[in-house]
Structure 1
Amino acid sequence: MPQWYEQLRSQMPVTQKWAYFDHAAVAPLSLPAQRALQEWAADLAENGDANWGVWRKEVERVRRTAAKLLNAKQAEIALIHNTTEGINLVAEGFPWRAGDNVVLPAGEFPTNLFPWLNLADRGVEVRQVKTERERLDLAAVAAACDERTRIVSVSWVGYATGWRNDLDALVELAHGQGALLFVDAIQALGVQPLDVAQTPVDFLAADGHKWMLGPEGAGVFYVRREHLEQLRPLGVGWNSVKQAGEFSDSRLDLKETAGRYEGGSYNMPGIAALGASLALLSEYGAAAIAERIDEIGNQLCDALTHRGATIVSCREPLRRSGIVAFDWPTTEPPVEIQRRCREQGVILNTRGGHLRVSPHAYTNADDIAQLCAALEATS
């Protein structure tokens, strides 16, 4: 009887060609996601909008799946195009006053920095807490906060070395300071469990094209229901109102859900494909997937260190994630190693001067062996 992660592997066409270690950048599509895109394209080519209502119902199924993933209410979920859109919904919609500030770790991905810096002309200060290889000191975060701190914004998992932040501790810290917590969840959602009823983050956003195995252009935004009226709605359009579709009704009667942020037409194929991958992953559950990624990550680190690599990422049980940054014992620059590995059928990446690998739950020992062989061929 195959292990469940072998069954998942059978749903990943990429394994037929590549040893794929780049889920922290852009993930390959699952077979169900590929089929969803093909079905949508065929339907639209053959039928135009005759079946639009069927695809619109699919949007709500995906919303339900995303809500279940977070143990959130459906009304708290908006389907967005990318993480940047989700962060800007908060950054631009929050009722700032001159002199307010936002606290976040230094070294964040630009998506979780630029929208906050863009508030300078509104008198909002951005306070960046110094980190070392993404390691975040909660005492330093607390010291950066004061009575004018409105939001603490963090990545659940850092993109460069994979440091995983303790969201429970950060929620407690932010709320204790009278601030709200925003989470950039793109490097963890779908493969790390999160229950927003138990870990009451205030806002969260994640595109689906990494660990959730979806296409680019379809993601998830979560806003705790109690904050819905606090954010000024952005991108308001025909789909933001309760009477969406009744185009002769000109009342601006906004939906009482996060759906008010879905102002225009949906990325129907992207959402359908994301939903197909989320349904596949939900068969196994985020906890089991996290455990498997942990297991394969440990195997990977053992194999790399045995061959002389230096692991840069923190591998403590509560801090590690699916991202492993490392240095290979050679004078070749990381980008050249990346290029030569690609020639050997191995996809990896570089960040911050280090090599970066990011296996998924379907990654196996053969992939690791192929990676190590490709690396050794560069020495």
Structure 2
Amino acid sequence: MFLDHFRSALAQTVDQGVFFDNASMGPVIPAVTEAMCDCMRLRQSMPMKYYQYANEIFPACKTRLASLINASPEEIAFTENVAYGINCAAGSIPFSPGDNVIVCDREFSSNIYPWMVQEHQKGVHLRIIPAAISGLDTFQKLPSHHPDFFPGGGLTVALLERYADSRTRAVSLSSVEFCDGFSADLEAIGQWCRQRNIYLIVDCAQSLGVMPMDVKKYHIDFLAGLSSKWLLGPFSTGFLYVRKELLPTLFPPFAGADSVTMDVDSVQYRLEFKPDATRFETGLPNAPGIAGLNASLKFMEDLGFENIYRQAWEVSEWFIRALNELHLSVAPCTRQANTRSTIVTFKTKDSSSAYKYLRQHNIACSFRCGCIRTGIHGYNTLHEAAQVIAALENYLRKQE
């Protein structure tokens, strides 16, 4: 019943073919579109009621997000996207010249450029270190022209032990890396950072909605996310979690009428930031987007996130096994349950050609870092995975 209900709500997408591209962009249910339209219809009919509507929807959405990541609503700020959230974190941490920040060399650019800005503005050193896979570190040392080389991996505690020093002030990483689907051991990394009073910043764009997240358990200080991938929500709608104990020590990099305690219409200007995470909200957030995200979160809550996780994990596990049986080069992180995710990336002798073949046969996937990337969600099925394998078998036969 769970799977039937999920797929029925996404019929406009799943009836078009196999959608294995959730790591790029998730589909939306009609309720998301309706919620966004309702918001704009209200503004169209009576503009000032729009604020009354926002006062109801914003707290509801923050409560749902907080519940999903084991946080409190006052620790949540609405943002435009992940880059905005990472910039908030990078710009508000009290760095001193000579401090350093560690990231790995497989990060999506949204988690790189904000730190580069801090290099220019505050004299912070950005250490972009070579990624590795726990237990498979030597695999990543192969030269890029080697046939067994696979671009991927992520941060591990072993790497932090090797590259961190007494001036390391922050570690920033993705919960799941965008290219190969490497899943970081956030609990171990978080514990390592907390013991050393190092800020931990996490981009959860490639996991939240299809894999569990617990900011308390993982000792996360900042968590940046968006709605348009695994949360199946609108574009340009994201959020930032900030650990409440840190809030009094953080000076936001920018401010607006909604960042401060003063009334929005006051001309008694006083730069006194709000005590909660809304200090990172400069003005009225994207109300239609938040309405859509709230609708999507409610739908997924009703389905049960555990059901979503379980289905996506089962299908991706089967798919990994089937790809290996075809003797394709599959991302090394898939070899271990603790480093894999529901992003499954693989290569053929001519990955670009294979990718085009799959797209021509109504199989949605992505081409990333010279590899074919699939993103499997809780509405995807074993039958769909088998369809992709059958298409690959046909493709490989044609290449013989």
Q: Give the TM-score band, short-chain normalised.
A: over 0.9
Corresponding position: 1:81 with 2:80? yes
Q: Higher mean Cα deviation, 47-56 or 204-213?
A: 47-56
Q: Matches of 1:137 and 1:202 in 2, distance apart?
A: 18
Q: Matches of 1:55 and 1:135 in 2, distance apart?
A: 39
Q: Matches of 1:178 and 1:55 in 2, distance apart?
A: 37
Identity %: 31
SS of equivalent to 2:342: coil
Corresponding position: 1:359 with 2:376? yes
TM-superposed CA distance for 1:114, in Å, is 1.2
Q: Give the AA of the match of 2:273.
A: L
TM-superposed CA distance for 1:323, in Å, is 0.4
Distance 1:89 1:289, change over 3 A: same
Q: Matches of 2:331 and 2:236 in 1, distance apart?
A: 31
Question: Aligned to 1:286, which of 289, 305, 324?
Answer: 305
Q: Which residue of 1 aligns with 2:359?
A: 342
Q: Give the AA of the match of 2:6.
A: L
Where in structure 2 are the equivalents of 1:113-192 lying within 5 Å? 113-121=112-120, 122-131=122-131, 132=140, 133-192=152-211
TM-superposed CA distance for 1:247, in Å, is 4.1
Where in structure 2 are the equivalents of 1:360-375 lying within 5 Å? 360-375=377-392
Where in structure 2 are the equivalents of 1:1-379 lying within 5 Å? 2=1, 4-12=2-10, 13-121=12-120, 122-131=122-131, 132=140, 133-248=152-267, 250-315=269-334, 316-328=336-348, 330-331=349-350, 333-334=351-352, 336-378=353-395, 379=398
Q: Deviation string for 1:176-224 (max 9, x for gaps)? A: 2331111111111122222223222111101111111111111120110
Q: Higher mean Cα deviation, 283-292 or 318-327?
A: 283-292
Q: Matches of 1:299 and 1:31 in 2, distance apart?
A: 30
Q: Higher mean Cα deviation, 70-79 or 247-256?
A: 247-256
- Asked whether the equivalents of residues 103 and 155 of structure 2 are also in contact (C-alpha less than 8 Å), the reply is no
- Asked whether the equivalents of residues 313 and 325 of structure 1 are also in contact (C-alpha less than 8 Å), the reply is no
Q: Matches of 1:180 and 1:155 in 2, distance apart?
A: 14
Q: Matches of 1:349 and 1:194 in 2, distance apart?
A: 25
Q: Deviation string for 1:116-135 (max 9, x for gaps)? A: 12222221111122113214
Distance 1:170 1:374, change over 3 A: same
Q: Matches of 1:19 and 1:45 in 2, distance apart?
A: 38
Q: Matches of 1:97 and 1:303 in 2, distance apart?
A: 51
- Asked whether the equivalents of residues 156 and 189 of structure 2 are also in contact (C-alpha less than 8 Å), the reply is no
- Asked whether the equivalents of residues 76 and 241 of structure 2 are also in contact (C-alpha less than 8 Å), the reply is yes
TM-score (norm 1): 0.92
SS of equivalent to 1:211: coil
- Asked whether the equivalents of residues 56 and 268 of structure 1 are also in contact (C-alpha less than 8 Å), the reply is no
Structure 2 portions without partners, runs of 5+: 132-139, 141-151
Distance 1:243 1:225, change over 3 A: same
TM-superposed CA distance for 1:325, in Å, is 0.5
Q: Matches of 2:197 and 2:232 in 1, distance apart?
A: 36
Q: Deviation string for 1:273-315 (max 9, x for gaps)? A: 1111111222244333222211010122233334443322422
Q: Deviation string for 1:30-82 (max 9, x for gaps)? A: 23212212322333334434343113320111011111111111111101110
Q: Matches of 2:238 and 2:117 in 1, distance apart?
A: 23
- Asked whether the equivalents of residues 146 and 177 of structure 1 are also in contact (C-alpha less than 8 Å), the reply is no
Structure 1 portions without partners, runs of 5+: none
Q: Give the AA of the match of 2:193.
A: A
- Count of residues in Structure 1 that have an aligned counterpart in Structure 2: 374
